[in-house]
Structure 1
C-alpha cells in the first residue's frame, strides 16, 4: 500500500480515528481570512485564464482531468508560538508540469522576498485546491520538510455546495503511522478556528456588502460603483485644474513683477 493512498484513506477515516490522531499532535491552528481570500482568488484567476485560453494547464496549476477545474498551489506563512500555529498569509507557487513537483528556485525566491517584508513569518506549509487529497500530495508535502519538518497542508474545495454551512477548508497534519508493518506518513485532519484582526474584519465586511442582496445583479451594482468612482475622479480633476490655473497665473504675475523691477 502506497503512502499517498494511505493519506486519502486517513482523510476519509471515521471521526474517532482522525480526532485521536490529531489530538496526539496537540497543535492549535488559527486561520486568518486573508489566506482563504488569497487561495480563492488564485483559483478563480487560474480557472478564468484556462477558460479564456481553452487550456486547463498553467504554470501554477495542474489539471486533474477534462472538465475539472485546475488545481493551484502555494505556501502558507505565519508564526508558531509553542503549540499554537497561526496562519496569517500565503503566496503562490509554480508547479513543474514535467516532474509534477514544485519549482524550488521560485519557492526560494518568493520566500526570500516575503522574509524581507514579514521577517517574523515563516513557511508553515502549503495549500492546494480540490475536493479531496490527491495521490501526489504527499510527494509535494515531503519536498517541503527541509523548510519545515512538520508542514501544514491546507486544502480548499472550490466546488460550491449550497447546503454546506461550514467553510470548505480542511487543514491536515502529517503523522507517521505503522500500516501493514510499514512506517508511513499519512494525512490527518486537524481542527482550526478563524482568527481575525480589525483590518481583516473591515475588508471582509466590505466584500460582503458588495454581494447583491436586493435581487439586483452583480453587474448592476458594479456599474453603480464604477459610476460613483468616475464622478469622484471627474470632480477631483476639475479641482486640480483650478489649482493648476491659479499657480500658472501666480507665476505670470511674479514674472511681470520681476521684469518691471
Structure 2
C-alpha cells in the first residue's frame, strides 16, 4: 500500500470534502457516548463512510463534495439501496457531478476496504478512495488526508488489486475560502471563546423569535376579532334591511 500511483492523474481536493468527513466523524463519535461510557473500557474510534463526488476533465480529477453512506457491519458492505437513492438526489442538485469514489476514516487503508472499493466499480470503474485520519498529531504538518487509487500488481505470481498513494493539491473557490476563513476566526475580539460567541448569537436569535411570535399572536387575535365583527355586522344587515 506504500506504492505510488502510476496512473498520471492529477487530483484536486476541495476543503468542503474534508469539512464534511470531519463533521460526519465527530457526530458519530459523539453519538456513541453514553452514561455508561465512563465505566467501560475506551472503545476504538468509529469509522464513517461516504461517497465523494466531482468531475473529471481529461487527466484531472476534481473532488468537490461528498455525501454520507450507511455501513452494514454484519456484511462488511455499504447499504446499496441507500447509496443509489442518495446518488439520484445529488444528481438532481448537481447534474454535472459524478460519483468519483468513496471516503472513510482511519490511520491507514485496511484489507476490508478493498471489498467496499470493488463493490463501487460498477458505478465508477476506477474509484478513488479518500481516507481521513481523525487522530490529532500536533507534530504533523501535512493534512491528515490520503488519496488512494487501485492498481493491479502481480504479487507472488498472483495478480492482485492493491491501494496506491496518489498526490493531490487543495483547490478552493471564493465561497469556500470565505467560509473556511470565517470558521477559523470564529472568536470574538474580547478574548472570549467561540462557544461564548455562539451562545450570545443564539440568545439574540431566540429573543427575536419570541418577539416575532408575540406580534404574530396579536395580529392573529385582531384578525379573529375582525372576522367575528364582520359576521355580526353581516347578521345585523340581514335582520334590518
* TM-score, length of structure 1 as denominator length: 0.77
Which of these residues, 10, 13, 20, is aligned with residue 28 of structure 1?
Answer: 10
Alignment of 1:1-261 (within 5 A): 10-11=1-2, 17-18=3-4, 22=5, 24-52=6-34, 67-211=43-187, 216-233=192-209
Distance 2:185 2:221 in 1: 40
237-246 or 144-153: bigger deviation: 237-246
Q: How many residues are treated as equivalent by the alignment?
A: 234
Runs of 4+ displaced beyond 6 Å: 238-255
177-186 or 127-136: bigger deviation: 177-186
Q: Structure 1, residues 164-219: CA drift from partner, whole Å, max 9, x if none?
A: 22211111111111112211111111111111122222221221122578653343
CA positional deviation for 1:90:
0.8
Distance 2:213 2:17 in 1: 37
Distance 1:113 1:53 in 2: 37
Distance 2:25 2:205 in 1: 28
Distance 1:53 1:91 in 2: 30
Larger radius of gyration: 2
Distance 1:239 1:203 in 2: 34
Paired residue secondary structure (1:149): coil
CA positional deviation for 1:134:
1.2
Paired residue secondary structure (1:51): coil
CA positional deviation for 1:70:
0.7
Give the gaps of 5 or more residues in structure 1. 1-9, 12-16, 56-64
RMSD (Å), alpha carbons: 2.8
Give the gaps of 5 or more residues in structure 2. none
